[in-house]
Structure 1
């Protein structure tokens, strides 16, 4: 918006004197009146609400009898007439004439919040127009728990703190599991966590302006548990497989035994293949000596579990 200046310039010879008078009016804490003055000479406008990063316009009505005018913030002069006193490049003059005196502040931040006063010196008395600028700030999560690994049965506390204005509300939910655990507090406390409560937790901070979201992953370690072994009947000379499946975090290591003797890969023509939670003991050419009882043991740092199999012969 172009700056419009009055064809009648405001005199500068007594500018400092007039500004001192205006500042005295502000510092007094209440309007100063001459005899016959009315309180209507000093106006309080409705609050201006602006979002962080936007531009705010501060407008002040003038009058034909105005000799000096200034915009002030916390008693600091922003503009005196068309003379800029503020060193802030975001502050600029928009309009200056005998109808109005308007300045703008770009990219508004929280530090710009507060009372602004347009102080006007007329030929007879000073008067002021004040307005309070409120700055709204979108939520931002500033203190948040990192991904964690815990053992089953541990107590867990997650933190989610956010800044913003209005003050944001906080909510939690477990999004990667069927669990229904939720909270509306900065701290999410989980007592004696179970493996079913492992997964990704989402914290949401919301106010009237926007939303901010962060996620944290909880890994719950627990000892292995193995599925019941399924016996297998195999004809001599044929291929046979025993499968052992274990549920564990971290993933289990597997060991195979026959009659309490550990089996290693390639032992007597047998092959062990481990893939994630599954271990396969494969016999490529079953003989009578292969029949018998086998044990699969699943092990991780929290414990172990085992199951038994019977490999028996099927004869035609």
Structure 2
């Protein structure tokens, strides 16, 4: 300790002291001053690391190195492969003739400061120093509570934050007009067994969260075959396989810190036409048409035969025969049409 005297705060004295403790300086070898050329020293760039991350401290070795150690502000971390630090976050990564590397995990503010790699060669000692800078993400530690004041009164709002580097604070007035505004819901008709989608669109700043309800019961994602997908200002309620129980009233609610807004939907059933329905409708139409044609044909024939001034002669029998033939032909066409189904 007499070597350092009143210069105990000097890094040079601290390094020399540790060298003595480690027997890196042979007995009888004179201790050189800080400016002596017999000791090589190198200063590395600062290492900046965020709080909670891992930092690696690397030191170049050499073939002529006999002893080496990593030191921090007040203690030895590693002397060669021997760990002197009791901190479990500190560990040895690489130790060979080329490199001597240790790491410090979960870095905190207490780890900030200078570190030295001290190396003893066959001729003289060599040191490499580096400074660790720890950054701390900003966090608000004190904020005014909600307050109600009379119009025209003075009000003081407080916001206190910490971090490193020191964070800057900004204030912003959020107008009530920024509360969510949900577009009017559109009812959707879906046939049983099909896929149905209800879409809820909102205009909001700040961004709103969505909630879906069936009557008074809230719906969650993957609930009874229902999926909810929120993308920005749009929320989709998707029915993968619509059943009778799914039909009914639904409500979408958009919520942010400034308020809420909602809109309602109706999922209703639609019946898709089937082949039997088409056949029944087509048959009815054809039969109606046939009946109309037959009535018209009979009426016209009767008018021809029994109209004013009509003459009953041998041709009247022929006319009846033609009408009967026409009716049979028409019925045959209709029957063929019906059989096509």
Q: Which TM-score tier does this pair reach, normalised by the shorter chain? A: 0.3 to 0.5
Q: Which has the higher helix share?
A: 2
TM-score in terms of structure 1 length: 0.46
For the pair shown, the structure with the greater C-alpha radius of gyration is: 2
TM-score in terms of structure 2 length: 0.42
